[in-house]
Amino acid sequence: MQLNQKINSLGEKLLQLLLLRVGFWADQSYDLSADQGASAPMLKASLGQDKWIQIIGREHYYESVVEYPIGNLRDLKKALKIEPWSFPYEGVRFVQIDRVSTQSHRVTNWVVKRDVLAHQKFRPMIMVPETACLQAPAASGPMAVSRLGKTVLVINTDNGLLSGIEPQTEDDSAVRFWRTRLLSLSGLAQDTNVDSVSEANVGTQLVQGLWHVIKRSPLTFLLPLETSGRGSYPWSKVVKMTLLAAAIYLPFSSLYILMSDAWVDYKLVGARSESMVSLELRKDIKSMQAEVNDVAAIFSRVPPLWVTWDVVMDLLDKEVTISRIDSIDGLVTIMATAPKATDILSYLSNDVRVAAVNYTQPVRQSGQLQSFAIAMRFNWSQTSKDPQVLNDAQEELVGMPNAVPRRESADG
């Protein structure tokens, strides 16, 4: 437990240090930092530290989405290099390419104004447009992000990315008109629900979106070097930062891989032992099932003649004199005398032990007694247990590897 707490504390400190190198630009630089004990980063006025990654506010770049009927990615990149500049102002262009079909691609363009770079005291390595960070969370539905006194509407549909800054006016009807127009342009219904992101949650959304962008395409928003400035570029700082990032990343990734591998081995050992118990129980069940089936097959071919003596004893109590008992193929014939033969036939007909009964000879009167012969077939004296019980137990073991089948006695 203490080791996990130390790792979590170290991870939080490392995240805070990395966030100091991530900034947000909207007319001035802002830090994405979290106070001690805070659960989410917030946008705060910059402390003047150099930024490696700069997120550019929506008001400082142009955004467009164009679909090209070109199926080959290499041909598309060549076409983008030679096409004329068609954007409203000069700036740094970032391009994101997504395949729409086998014969077409969608190109999302972001052109950051040149004056943004001119106001940077330290040239960042990566510049990411704000809506590029928010396009992943906006895929689940339109978002209205409130930050620094402005609201940015971000829509990400199958038709591509569409965004803009809501007009700053007290007229709610103008804002609603602007929203419905943007929703219609994106192909959504005018009454589509728009999720609101408050100022307190903007930092979390930006950091999560930035991480998604870096994982998906780390080179897309890499700031190109200016030809005139390559000689004065701070290569020593870049090398130092790269080595520092590698020194931080490699130990943590190695530790994570080792811990994950140990955890997977532990789970596999536990699963293997449980599966062995389940296999042994299944073998026992199959063996017992075979024994039950063999016993049931043997007894199914044996007539229940042992019931005869129970019935005979009951007949003797009813003043029946038995002179002879025969048995052929499970059919028991009793020759006897009694005061009234019909009473005996009626009694046996209502006996649950008797399956069928009838006279085999005519009833003869001999003084006060009647002589008769009755043939009977008996039921089983005891209902056999259903062999399917073992099969049901085996099926239950599929989801319960540690279960032990309960043996039932003959009387339940």
Confirm whether 191 is domain-assigned: yes
| Domain with 126 in it | 2-225
38-47, 181-190, 368-377: lowest mean pLDDT where? 38-47
Confidence of residue 43 (pLDDT cuts 50, 70, 90): confident
pLDDT for 3 equals: 54
Sheet with strand 91-101: strands edge to edge: 61-68, 104-113, 91-101
Is residue 302 over pLDDT 80? Answer: no
Confirm whether 97 is domain-assigned: yes
- Note whether 327 and 190 are same-domain residues: no
Quote the pTM value: 0.53
- In order, the DSSP letters of 300-368 are HTS--TTHHHHHHHHHHHTTPEEEEEEEETTEEEEEEEES-HHHHHHHHHT-TTEEEEEESS--EEETT
33-47, 97-111, 326-340: lowest mean pLDDT where? 33-47
Confirm whether 249 is domain-assigned: no
CA distance 222 to 128: 8
Is residue 180 over pLDDT 80? Answer: yes
Confidence of residue 251 (pLDDT cuts 50, 70, 90): confident
Higher pLDDT, 46 or 85: 85
Higher pLDDT, 302 or 270: 270
Confirm whether 208 is domain-assigned: yes
- Note whether 129 and 28 are same-domain residues: yes
pLDDT for 400 equals: 46
Q: What is the mean pLDDT of the chain?
A: 82
Q: How many independent structural domains does the chain possess? A: 2
CA distance 1 to 17: 25
CATH of the domain at 367: 3.30.1360.100
Residues constituting the chain: 412
Q: Give the residue among 161, 131, 123 at the shortest CA–CA distance from 60.
A: 131
